[in-house]
Amino acid sequence: MATTATPPPAPKVNRIGLPVLDYRGGKTTLCAGCGHNAISERIIDSLYEMGIQPERVMKLSGIGCSSKSPAYFLSRAHSFNSVHGRMPSVATGALLANKTMMGLGVSGDGDTASIGMGQFVHLMRRNLPMIYIIEDNGVYGLTKGQFSATADLGSKLKTGVINDLPAIDTCALAIQLGATFVGRSFSGDKKQLSAMLKAAIAHKGTVMLDVISPCVTFNDHEGSTKSYKYMQEHEEAIAEVGFVPHFEDISVDYDAGSTFDVRMHDGSHLRLHKLHENYNPTDRVQAVKALMEAHEKGEVLTGVFYIDPEKPTFTELLNMVDDPLATLPQERTRPSKQVLDEIMNRLK
Amino acid sequence: MRQSFAIGIGGAAGQGVATPGDIFAKIFSRRGLHLNAYNAYQSIIRGGHTFLTIRTGPEKVTNMGDRIDLLIPLNQDTMDRHLSLLSAGGACIYNADTIKPGTPAEGVQLCPLPVSKLADISKNKVAQNTLAMGAALSMMGVGFQALESVLAEQFRKKEQAVIDENVNLARTGYDYATQNFQAFPHPLPMTDNRYAVLSGNAALAMGGAAAGVKFYCAYPMSPSTGVLHWMAEHARKANIMVRQVEDEIGVINMAIGAAHAGVRAMCATSGGGFALMSEGLGLSAMAEIPVVVIDCMRAGPSTGVPTKTEQGDLWQMLGAAFGDYPRVIAAPLDIGDCFTLIPEIFNIAERFQCPGIVLCDLLLSEGRLSVEPQALDFNPPIDRGEMITSANGNGHGEYKRYLITESGVSPRAVPGLPGYTHTVSSDEHAEDGVLISDEYTNTVKRRAMMEKRMRKVQGIEASAPPPELQGPADADVTLIGWGSTQGVIEEAREQLAEQGIKANQLQIRWLVPLHGDAIVGILKGSRRTIIVENNFSGQFARYLRSETSFLADGHIRKYDGEPFMPHHIAEAVKEQLAGETTLSIPAHEVMV
Ligand SMILES: Cc1ncc(C[n+]2csc(CCOP(=O)(O)OP(=O)(O)O)c2C)c(N)n1
Ligand code: SF4
Ligand SMILES: [Mg+2]
């Protein structure tokens, strides 16, 4: 019987012609079932779907299991694993020196809310164009499961130790400090997390996403408030997140009474379908109030809490030259003759 | 002996000591004279004692010297503390209404100004300062025109009436002195030279601009804040990104981030801030990202004496961050050298992709010096080392950021260059930047990477020159100093020479690389060696011993907050040559 060779089907590619393989990273060495792995998957999908050139991305992280995860996505991007809690300033320096790069930061709850708190709050104030993801498991995974500063009051470690201090809500803080896109999601909520990540890519200022990401090894038991089970029982979405990228046709109708349509800076649309009474994602006070109320009720509120798509970013405010400082030719790295003469005259 | 003339102006902080200081400095430099200014002050904004010494002369003035020729006390406290500094031939100009003179030494002229008779003090609070300046210049034999034009410049942002009022006051003081006081025997000389007068902090900042620094960040800390001020003031015009950051941990990491992206990044701090930077310094070493950190030393430990000088941070620099790694450490020898050193250390730090540390101190940072304008070369060579700057056409190549090479230097590409994407990390890594201690630790790779980094040490050694002996080869004693003591040791040697003692000097500028063999080679030929340093434990002496086993014969140390004066060193040398001691700790004669 004659066989006709059928050519293998061409790999599926995205709008810039790259297969999803080009968005993958090294093989993960994190525990099987770790929430961080699921987040890496969502990052891969969303960068692929948005058609981001991998080489334009600068991955940045601190130290922790979460901070290791940039090795497990987007191998074709630049990457900087800095020191514990210090990624915000490394990111600020790097992105000021080269504002054409897209900053994608991955941190942990310990890396951010414990050792890195000082750096974190100042990053939020800057509205630096970057995405900052906290992979939040309520413990220090890499140092074997001690409580971090996002662990809820009264939650219990495997050893029976009870957390005696209240949790820091990184979302409430970020909103108050000036981040312009703030939300919380859950590593197990594929649909919501993907939509939020894609919207994050479309946003021009600081995006702060706190993603609850259970640590299966140290914090997934009864009594933990960051376990899969706890999240399944207590997750409460403030709104359903829909995202239509700028390169797609926006035809689907929506009900203006129950849905906020936010036009983003690049022309994409974020469609937030209200699930809560007083939800208004452009009102910071409302947003913080909703977070505090949910907390009182013992719910883990998720969704996009606050967005301001047009607030000028740090690099816009600094009024920088168009070319990245990092690649200016040598003639342009020193002050001009005229400026030097002026300086010298004032010394005489 | 060098011909020089020193004025001391003192008062409470907020009494306006700085303005007459600036005005005298301008007049001296426009007369073609050299000058050196040192301000002794306290960590307080109002009240507290400030005492400014400005020393001038036709030859280079490298330090504040030993004596004051003219004292201008603006309050009683200054009169009481400093009158004893005047010796025969000296003079003291003061407000006779508010200050009672003490008993001066023989031959000191007291010059009381009847301020309330000469000026309307209800209108002008600092009338006494302006009157005193006028009087002083008359006694120094400087024509009034010089003062008039500098005053007009000083107050150029004010209305004409303010300028006129000050000029008139100065004139009154000038004329009163001409009629009532005895002029100094030698009028202030004049030359055709023209110098630039600048502080060490301005020089450090300008050196950065000359080196092509594009990113400067800092958190304010005395005595380094002046660098930030210069940078902030000139940021726009000089096109430098200048950021004030929340703390020094942020500072160092931000500088590293910027340097990683490809710019030359610099920051400055003092001991306490540097302590916070220590972990970041290790990151710079591990990730092989060059940054230059300036440490302006002040008296420690802890908050210490914020406004006083010391050379007490050497071991902090030598031991900063954990683990072994290549670093460069240099101490500028004077204010002009603050400028020159920055481009030099940047070139070495970038060629060897490691941190560079500049060990400056309060004495230089906040002091001011006249410098030949040509010495401020804004076009020094820039060597950025092995940098890959053009893309290889691939999207994602086989680039190895930490390629193992014989020199230990791996050609560096910056993010954004297609074909050269890479990972940098604070964890130990393989040639491609991927960490090696994830599932198991690869000891072979760890060793290879450690050796690669440490091979850079040889290259660093070769790129900085060893120190050279200054002064006569055949000397009774060799004085060894480092950094800012260059000038004061030099003048002490001159004083010794006048007393028949021949001294030469070995001044250390590069602390790492030290060039221990060369140093020992030089010192082997010395009859006697004495190490002079501004700290308690002899930090350099201990360092030299640990690197070379060299033991000096004697030590001169000072750790009271004030810098050495030439006679402190000269007298200590004499007592050591007489066999009285091997450790001299000169006492500072006045409380400032
Ligand atoms: C200065 C410093 N202190 C402590 C550590 C040890 N350490 C490494 S990771 C970590 C906690 C990480 O927790 P988190 O950021 O929540 O990440 P996770 O592992 O939970 O994802 C700690 C304490 C360190 N690397 N550096
Ligand atoms: S220890 Fe916890 S956080 Fe770390 S990889 Fe395992 S599951 Fe994830
Ligand atoms: Mg954690």
Q: Which of B41-45, B89-93, B129-133, B282-286 has the lowest mean pLDDT?
A: B41-45
Query: Given a cut of 80, is residue B385 above it in pLDDT?
Result: yes
Same-domain status, B96 and B172 = yes
Q: How far apart are CA A57 and CA A47, in angstroms?
A: 10
Q: How confident is the model at residue B522 (pLDDT cuts 50, 70, 90)?
A: very high
Q: In chain A, positions 244-273, which contact chain B (CB-CB < 8 Å)?
A: none
Residue B224 is classified by DSSP as T
Q: What share of chain B has pLDDT > 90, as a percent?
A: 88
The vertex-A332 CA angle with A330 and A338, nearest 5°, equals 130
Q: How far apart are CA B128 and CA B140, in angstroms?
A: 18
Q: How confident is the model at residue A9 (pLDDT cuts 50, 70, 90)?
A: confident
A16 touches chain B (CB under 8 A): no
CATH 3.20.20.70 assigned to domain A20-320? The reply is no
Do residues A338 and A110 touch, judged by C-beta distance below 8 A? no
Neighbour tally for B43: CB within 10 Å: 13
Q: How confident is the model at residue B139 (pLDDT cuts 50, 70, 90)?
A: very high
Q: How confident is the model at residue B46 (pLDDT cuts 50, 70, 90)?
A: confident
Q: How confident is the model at residue A301 (pLDDT cuts 50, 70, 90)?
A: very high
Contact residues for A215 (Cβ-Cβ < 8 A; gap 6+): A31, A34, A35, A65, A137, A138, A139, A141, A145, A226
Query: Given a cut of 80, is residue B394 above it in pLDDT?
Result: no
pLDDT average, residue stretch B150-157? 90
Alpha carbon B470 to its chain centroid, in Å, reads 21
A340 touches chain B (CB under 8 A): yes
Give the distance from residue B256's alpha carbon to the nearest chain A alpha carbon, in angstroms. Answer: 6
pLDDT average, residue stretch B158-162? 90
End-to-end CA distance of chain B: 27
Average pLDDT in chain B:
95
The vertex-A80 CA angle with A77 and A86, nearest 5°, equals 145
**pLDDT tens sequence across B188-239:** 999 999 999 999 999 999 999 999 999 999 999 999 999 999 999 999 999 9
**pLDDT tens sequence across B280-319:** 999 999 999 999 999 999 999 999 999 999 999 999 999 9
Q: How far is the CA of B99 from the centre of ligand 3 (A)?
A: 67
Nearest to B279 among A83, A327, A344 (CB): A83
Q: Select from B85, B82, B88, B83 the least CA-distant residue to B106.
A: B88
Q: How far is the CA of A34 from the centre of ligand 2 (A)?
A: 5
- Is B591 a member of any domain? no
Q: Which atom of ligand 1 lies at the shortest distance from residue A213's CA?
A: 21
Q: What is the pLDDT of residue B41?
A: 83
Q: CA gyration radius for chain B? A: 26
Q: How far apart are CA A262 and CA A308, in angstroms?
A: 9
Q: How far is the CA of A205 from the centre of ligand 1 (A)?
A: 27
Q: What is the pLDDT of residue B209?
A: 97
Q: How far apart are CA B531 and CA B505, in angstroms?
A: 10
Same-domain status, B145 and B64 = yes
Same-domain status, B173 and B206 = no
Residues with CB under 5 A from ligand 3 (ion): A 108-110, 137
Give this prediction's pTM. 0.96
Q: How far is the CA of A241 from the centre of ligand 1 (A)?
A: 32
A334 chain-B contacts, CB cut-off 8 A: 209-210, 212, 378-379
Q: How far apart are CA B173 and CA B137, in angstroms?
A: 9
Q: In chain A, positions 198-227, which contact chain B (CB-CB < 8 Å)?
A: none
Q: How far is the CA of B90 from the centre of ligand 2 (A)?
A: 77
Is the torsion defined by CA of B381, B385, B386, B392 positive or negative? negative
- List the domain range (segments joined by +) for residue B519: 469-584
Q: Where are the alpha helices (DSSP H) in A9-157?
A: 35-50, 65-68, 87-97, 109, 117-126
Contact residues for B521 (Cβ-Cβ < 8 A; gap 6+): none
Element (H, E) at A232: helix A228-234
Same-domain status, B476 and B457 = no
Q: What share of chain A has pLDDT > 90, as a percent?
A: 87
Q: What is the pLDDT of residue B297?
A: 98
Same-domain status, B157 and B19 = yes
Query: Given a cut of 90, is residue B441 above it in pLDDT?
Result: no
**Closest residue in chain B to residue A92, using alpha carbons only:** B254
Q: Mutating which of A115, A334, A338 best tests the B interface, going by the most B Cβ atoms within 10 A?
A: A334
Q: Which residue has the higher pLDDT, B157 or A184?
A: A184
The structural domain count of chain B equals 4
Structure tokens at B408: 């230990």
Nearest to B415 among A75, A78, A89 (CB): A78
Q: Which residues line ligand 1 (CB under 6 A)?
A: A 63-66, 84, 108-111, 135, 137, 139-143, 148
Give the distance from residue A13's alpha carbon to the nearest chain B alpha carbon, in angstroms. Answer: 16
Q: Which residues line ligand 2 (CB under 6 A)?
A: A 30-31, 34, 36, 65, 137, 141-142, 215-218
Q: How far is the CA of A149 from the centre of ligand 3 (A)?
A: 9
**pLDDT tens sequence across A26-46:** 999 999 999 999 999 999 999
Q: How confident is the model at residue B469 (pLDDT cuts 50, 70, 90)?
A: very high
pLDDT average, residue stretch A1-12? 72
Same-domain status, B33 and B97 = yes
ipTM: 0.94
pLDDT average, residue stretch A109-117? 98
Q: What is the pLDDT of residue A7?
A: 74
CATH of the domain at B305: 3.40.50.970
Same-domain status, B460 and B480 = no
Contact residues for B581 (Cβ-Cβ < 8 A; gap 6+): B554, B575
A317 touches chain B (CB under 8 A): no
Interface contact A80-B287, CB threshold 8 A: yes
Nearest CA to ligand 2 atom 5: A30
Interface contact A82-B438, CB threshold 8 A: no
Query: Given a cut of 70, is residue A3 above it in pLDDT?
Result: no
A32 touches chain B (CB under 8 A): no
Q: In chain A, positions 73-92, which contact chain B (CB-CB < 8 Å)?
A: 75-83, 86, 88-92
DSSP-derived 3-state class of residue A12: coil
Only one residue has tokens 């058609």, namely: A51
Q: How confident is the model at residue A249 (pLDDT cuts 50, 70, 90)?
A: confident
- Assign 3-state DSSP to chain A and report helix, strand, coil percentages, each to 5: 35, 20, 45
Query: Given a cut of 90, is residue B121 above it in pLDDT?
Result: no
Q: What is the pLDDT of residue B143?
A: 95
How many Cβ pairs closer than 8 A exist between chain A and B?
202
Same-domain status, B53 and B153 = yes
Interface contact A80-B254, CB threshold 8 A: no
Q: Mutating which of A52, A75, A347 best tests the B interface, going by the most B Cβ atoms within 10 A?
A: A347
Alpha carbon A268 to its chain centroid, in Å, reads 18
pLDDT average, residue stretch A252-270? 90
Do residues B205 and B364 touch, judged by C-beta distance below 8 A? no
- Is B590 a member of any domain? no
Give the distance from residue A171's alpha carbon to the nearest chain B alpha carbon, in angstroms. Answer: 21
A321 chain-B contacts, CB cut-off 8 A: 239
Interface contact B416-A78, CB threshold 8 A: yes
Q: How far is the CA of A137 from the centre of ligand 1 (A)?
A: 12
Which mutation among A140, A157, A216, A219 tests ligand 1's pocket best, with the greatest number of atoms within 8 A of CB? A140
Last residue of a domain, one of B375, B395, B416: B375
Q: What is the pLDDT of residue B120?
A: 86
Same-domain status, B491 and B395 = no
Same-domain status, B253 and B390 = no
Q: How far is the CA of A141 from the centre of ligand 2 (A)?
A: 5
Do residues A166 and A295 touch, judged by C-beta distance below 8 A? no
CATH of the domain at B480: 3.40.50.920
Q: How far apart are CA B217 and CA B230, in angstroms?
A: 12
Burial pattern B401-438, b for ≥16 Cβ within 10 A else e, equals bbeeeeebbbebbbbbbbbbbbbbbbbbbbbebbbbee
Give the distance from residue B318's alpha carbon to the nearest chain A alpha carbon, in angstroms. Answer: 21
Q: What is the pLDDT of residue B432?
A: 92
Same-domain status, B429 and B399 = yes
Interface contact A332-B256, CB threshold 8 A: no
Last residue of a domain, one of B375, B394, B413: B375
Burial pattern B516-548, b for ≥16 Cβ within 10 A else e, equals beebeebbeebebbbbbbbbeebbbbebbeebe
Q: How confident is the model at residue B1 (pLDDT cuts 50, 70, 90)?
A: low
Nearest to B395 among A55, A68, A348 (CB): A55
Q: Which of A146-160, A326-340, B65-79 has the lowest mean pLDDT?
A: A326-340
Do residues B511 and B317 touch, judged by C-beta distance below 8 A? yes
Last residue of a domain, one of B375, B397, B432: B375
What is the phi/psi pair of residue B86, to 5°? -85, 140
DSSP β-ladder status, B583-584 and B554-557: parallel
Only one residue has tokens 């020196």, namely: A97
The vertex-B167 CA angle with B161 and B171, nearest 5°, equals 140
Q: What is the pLDDT of residue B590?
A: 80
Give the distance from residue A264's alpha carbon to the nearest chain B alpha carbon, in angstroms. Answer: 26
Do residues B332 and B200 touch, judged by C-beta distance below 8 A? yes
Q: How far apart are CA A269 and CA A252, in angstroms?
A: 11
Q: What is the pLDDT of residue A314?
A: 97
pLDDT average, residue stretch A4-8? 72
pLDDT average, residue stretch A123-128? 97
Same-domain status, B207 and B316 = yes
Interface contact A63-B376, CB threshold 8 A: no
Give the distance from residue A241's alpha carbon to the nearest chain B alpha carbon, in angstroms. Answer: 32
